[in-house]
Chain A
């Protein structure tokens, strides 16, 4: 049985099981994934994972309780388990206190987003990757297969999302920590594309062969490639746009709401679900708007409001997830051509990647982290030498504020390669950024 039919059959079974006054919401998350892990252009680990998890929320008399269980793949057994667990929740829920923040979608918005797989066989991709990299030191992971998300509730709403994607997330090492990092993700794997990527990587590796330069701590003019911008913008996922965090004075961007703090007027950031790689619905059944502007011309415009927060503070939800974190960032592009980046940087640092970011003082949106992979010293518009890794510690109000000089015209679409528990459906659409001063500390 197809995953969608399987989920809907279970939802229908739950529907027939409910009693008067009961409401259920139900979320499904599943995948059939191949994972091939590489090291030194060989296979370190290879295998397949089939999994599906269903999450059910029972609401009755303003009380709610939830359970999740891993589906076995046997529809009869899973149906019985679902009924048994639901019956247990029914017993529990009446002993729980009333929850004043319960909110679920009561209007029905069913939807379906599917497409046919255009994926090549994993073996043929592995053959291509390892053939092209046989004289290189490639390390990383290839993941592919269908990813499913579904929603159902007792009002009859049904939503389905599936995508068949691949993601080759890899680095090619020259020596020690000197490497070029790249990512090739999408729906159709093209050997020609990978060949071109590998050629570009080899050009960059030539520069890495130069002796590395060590920098002293201080302020430097830098260009942040889209992957590096992704790390900086990504840390805003830690509650920066959460309405609950604003309400409880814990957002790193609280100064934007409570005072006149601003980013640079060229900085406009949104949650662009319509352009993203994930579903248009969320776990309480609300549909997500195609776009939510978060920062417009440097000013905070909106927060992300989950149904629970909306109920608590008397607001309208904008389809945010429970953690009120963006899943499809889009940073508006600028007017700097990528071809002119080195010329415009003139003398400074080309930062390909940042790594292991954290807040050193969240109230000031002050971030620390490391440079990683390919970072180069540039003089008079020419790449001169690779750099040793450096620690930075600077505020986003500075990096994306007065010190933001330009954003590139071109943006990269970055599919999140994370696979904690399951393959991510998050993405980001980001340009590179030219920054006048960027503080290195160690």
Chain B
């Protein structure tokens, strides 16, 4: 990685007759290892580095991305960005003074106890093969896989106001999958719906008992393939944290993104049923609902100290006691909307400019134990691990499906059922939140693949949540 002094020296040699500039340098390395049906796919290491140059000049903002750190290439990138700033200035959507500037100095590092490189390739391969054997414990398991993904990155940011930020991240995602087939029925169970992803080193493997849980994952796939279909009708719905992740993401995270509310995403990711005048007044959910933007949550996937516009990131309540408080909007969106937001201006890599992203958005724990919640349900269902997701472009009418579910009858967990789905409307759904699990039920999940933006950007997000109980939800199963 280029040092601070080296980066500054390169820039000092450039001709930069502009009002303001910044450079974000991203160096990323991703290792993937996957054994499918016990056979190792070719291991792959991807490494990449590049620079995003941003210029504010002539009343507009322009950017240019280049992988080349030579003097001539960086100069060419600046000139390209200057040209785009000139063109943007002719049709600027916002006042140049709205563009975020910072003088911050700071750093961040992911909490890693045991680096990915500390385990030999041979040992990792051996572990995946052993885990694969555990997954394939029955002839009805027709497909199975075990994988590890580790992504390390260093992000350096400097600007013409003197800021210097240095952040290093390590994202780690182990995964398991088992598919069972019998009598014309196929069901798949994975490691929490592919949701186990944290800022961590290999210690996460021990935390989740990666080498011990494989057989249980496959057993649950078999359990599902033999189960009856999920019944249809209104039921109380208890969601495990690995489905709450998706529920928070789609029906709280995205609708609160300020750039959606400002219309930037209307051609692609969509708009929002939330309007600017609803903040501070709108009852988003029941009084039990407390939602935070928390970039300091230990080990959560999208933790950081500064966003990609250089804004210091701090925890903030988005929803408190059910009342909508503030949007997910970075400094530029805040200036455009004239409202407070959070530091969530993020870019997926060096080749994309930052936009408002979800980052870590969490439901704060309440005071109910899992047993308490189950015991208060007469006719309900407990769903785990996301499988299917669909929501309208205003983030209101949704339909989600899970890998696994168990009926709740007269206060007790009873039969496992397959193909569980539920649908609802965000605005009503959260108001029917009737119990929030305590800290003991709280779990942390993440996704590497939240898609948004034009040009498109897939980025990592984190969601921590306790189990939560919702009243009277429209639940249904499959046809088969």
* Residues of A participating in the B interface, judged by any CB pair closer than 8 Å: 33, 35-37, 39-53, 57, 64-74, 85, 92, 95-97, 99-101, 123, 126, 130, 139-141, 143, 169-171, 173, 176-177, 179, 181, 248-250, 254, 258, 355-361, 363-364, 366, 368-370, 372, 389, 391, 393, 395, 418-421, 441-442
Contacts and interface: CB of A to CB of B under 8 A. Distances in A.
B63 interface: yes
B45 interface: yes
Contacts of A45: 61, 63, 88, 353, 355
B186 A249 contact: yes
Given A358-B389, A366-B479, A47 B93 contact: no
Contacts of B399: 358, 360, 368, 391, 393, 441-442
Complex A-B, nearest 9 residue pairs according to Cβ-Cβ distance, in ascending order:
A47-B63, A70-B48, A361-B478, A141-B454, A248-B143, A419-B455, A42-B93, A140-B267, A73-B68
A408 B142 CA distance: 41
Contacts of B478: 360-361, 363-364, 366
| Residue picked from B45, B49, B389, B421, most chain A C-beta under 10 Å | B45
Given A48-B84, A71-B67, A361-B477, 14 more contacts: A49-B455, A65-B44, A68-B45, A68-B48, A69-B48, A95-B122, A99-B42, A123-B87, A248-B181, A249-B186, A356-B390, A363-B185, A368-B388, A368-B390
B208 interface: no
A177 B73 contact: no
A171 B271 CA distance: 12
5 contacts: A47-B81, A249-B186, A363-B478, A370-B392, A389-B392
B58 interface: no
Contact of B266 (A173, A248, A250): A173
Nearest to B421: A360
B423 interface: yes
Contacts of A393: 399
B93 A50 contact: no
Contacts of A101: 39
Contacts of B455: 33, 35, 37, 49, 141, 143, 419
Interface string B373-397: 0000000000000001111111001
Contact of B271 (A42, A126, A177): A177
Interface in B188-246: 188
Contact of A358 (B50, B64, B143, B390): B390
A258 B143 CA distance: 17
Interface residues of B, number: 83
Contact of B67 (A72, A130, A442): A72
Contacts of A69: 46-48
Contacts of A139: 263-264, 266-267
Interface in B51-100: 60-70, 73, 80-81, 83-84, 87-88, 90-93
B112 to A, nearest CB: 22
B393 A356 contact: yes
A248 B142 contact: yes
A59 B339 CA distance: 57
Interface of B: 39-50, 60-70, 73, 80-81, 83-84, 87-88, 90-93, 121-122, 125, 129, 142-143, 179, 181, 184-186, 188, 262-264, 266-268, 270-271, 349, 351-353, 355, 388-394, 397, 399, 401, 419, 421, 423, 425, 451, 454-458, 477-480
Contact of B423 (A41, A97, A442): A442
A364 B351 contact: no
A68 B44 contact: yes
B480 A44 contact: no
Given A39-B264, A46-B84, A47-B81, A249 B391 contact: no
Contacts of A254: 186
A442 B391 CA distance: 11
A174 B41 CA distance: 50
B77 to A, nearest CB: 8
B47 A68 contact: yes
A44 B45 CA distance: 35
A141 B388 contact: no
Contacts of A360: 388, 390, 399, 401, 421, 478
B190 to A, nearest CB: 13
Contacts of B60: 43, 46
Nearest to A41: B91
B451 A420 contact: yes
Given A92-B43, A368-B388, A418 B48 contact: no
A369 B42 CA distance: 36
Contacts of B125: 96-97
B161 to A, nearest CB: 20
B121 A95 contact: yes
A99 B125 CA distance: 12
Contact of B47 (A70, A97, A171, A357): A70
A420 B458 contact: yes
B143 A39 contact: no
A181 B92 CA distance: 23
A37 B87 CA distance: 12
Contact of B88 (A46, A92, A361): A46
Contact of A47 (B41, B64, B397): B64
A70 B49 contact: yes
A21 to B, nearest CB: 17
A92 B121 contact: yes
B267 A171 contact: yes
A351 to B, nearest CB: 14
A29 B397 CA distance: 38
A250 B66 contact: no
B40 A42 contact: no
Contacts of B352: 49
Contacts of A169: 267-268, 454
A50 B47 contact: no
Nearest to B269: A356
